[in-house]
Amino acid sequence: MSDSVDASVDANELLSRAADRRPLPSGGIILAATPLGNPLDASLRLIDALASADIIAAEDTRRTRALADTLGVTIAGRIYSNFDHNEAERAEFFVEQAEQGRRVLVVTDAGMPSVSDPGFPLVVAARRAGVPVTCLPGPSAVPTALALSGLGVGHFAFLGFAPRKDGARRSFFRSFIDAPYAVCFFESPHRLAKTLQAAAEELGDGRQAAVCRELTKTFEEVKVGGLAELATWAADGVKGEICVVIDSAAESGDGDAELDVEALVELVELKVAEGERLKTAAGDVAKLHGASKRELYEAVLRERNQE
């Protein structure tokens, strides 16, 4: 999409195109994902909810009002702040409002409530009280970063924010040194270099990773490379909201291969000759011998090109 596109839209015009949309519930809690950066990522249901909610529980009331203004929405309900330091005490109030038949919309500054953002205590309180809870899906930094990383993320774990203290941070990384899945976590820009350096020292300099920053915004950037390389890059200073994806041990080839690459290629070709797909065969052999699936697959292709 061109940067020249006007982000301001007519909410009524958009809503008129969604004749078959599912109506929002009243007398319940609605968790709604908000745009990470580009306001045009807002869903029609979010626009509807902002306009029709009786109460809006917002991480930052000013940012929520600004989003509504950009989307051409007039907020008729009352907005309450709902952030890290007051959400636990406010949860019961919001539940009581929902029990009285009011529609309570929960939004954060960006992304999905309760995914490392305010919202979890309210969901727990609502479930305990038997109050209906639903969700309006939409933007989230985690799947966006995973998709853009270019790493093997068929299986992954989301770990929230990395620990701030060095000892806890190193233990954090050691806990998935042999993990057969990718890991994804958030980090602040001023701690990123130290975090990547600790990851490199605990997981290996060459462990593949991706640093995704300012997703969907003007200065969006995805930097992919070995952990040591990324730590050096980040030392010069990085700005914005950041999500880090680290490849699995199997994909990065951190294990000790039992056989050399030439022998592994032969094993892959034997499986292919028996009718197995090349990518599947390469994955099976790599996993069995602690090699990198990607490197083994590429080695097979190089060998074939030389024939």
In degrees, rounded to 5, the angle at the alpha carbon of residue 232 between the alpha carbons of residues 216 and 169 is 80
> Per-residue DSSP letters for 24-71?
PPSSEEEEE-B-SS-GGG--HHHHHHHHH-SEEEESSHHHHHHHHHHT
Instruction: Provide the mean pLDDT of the chain.
Output: 87
The token pair at 40 is 């045009």
Q: What angle separates helix 293-306 from helix 278-289, to the nearest 10 degrees? A: 120
Q: What is the pTM of this model?
A: 0.72
Positive/negative CA dihedral, 104, 108, 114, 119: negative
pLDDT tens column, 33-55: 999 999 999 999 999 999 999 99
Asked if residue 115 has pLDDT above 90, the reply is no
Pick the CATH number of 142-252 from 3.60.15.10, 3.40.30.10, 3.30.950.10, 3.50.50.60: 3.30.950.10
Asked if residue 146 has pLDDT above 90, the reply is yes
Q: What are phi and psi of 220, to 5 degrees?
A: -55, 140
Amino acid at 290: G
- The lowest-confidence range among 54-58, 86-90, 189-193, 262-266 is 262-266
Amino acid at 170: R
d(CA 100, CA 94): 10
pLDDT of residue 116: 85
Q: What are phi and psi of 166, to 5 degrees?
A: -60, -45
Q: β-pairing, 208-213 with 242-246? A: antiparallel
The mean pLDDT of 66-74, rounded to a whole number, is 95
The token pair at 36 is 């990470």
Closest CA to 24 of 137, 135, 138: 135
In degrees, rounded to 5, the angle at the alpha carbon of residue 51 between the alpha carbons of residues 50 and 55 is 65
- The lowest-confidence range among 27-41, 127-141, 260-274 is 260-274
**What CATH code is assigned to 11-139?**
3.40.1010.10
d(CA 230, CA 195): 10
d(CA 150, CA 154): 11
Domain boundaries, the chain: 11-139, 142-252, 261-306
The mean pLDDT of 76-81, rounded to a whole number, is 96
Q: Is 177 helix (H, G, I), strand (E, B) or coil?
A: coil
pLDDT of residue 86: 93
**DSSP code of residue 110:** S
15: pLDDT confidence band, cut at 50, 70 and 90? low
What are the helix and strand counts (H, E) for the chain? 13, 10
Asked if residue 150 has pLDDT above 90, the reply is no
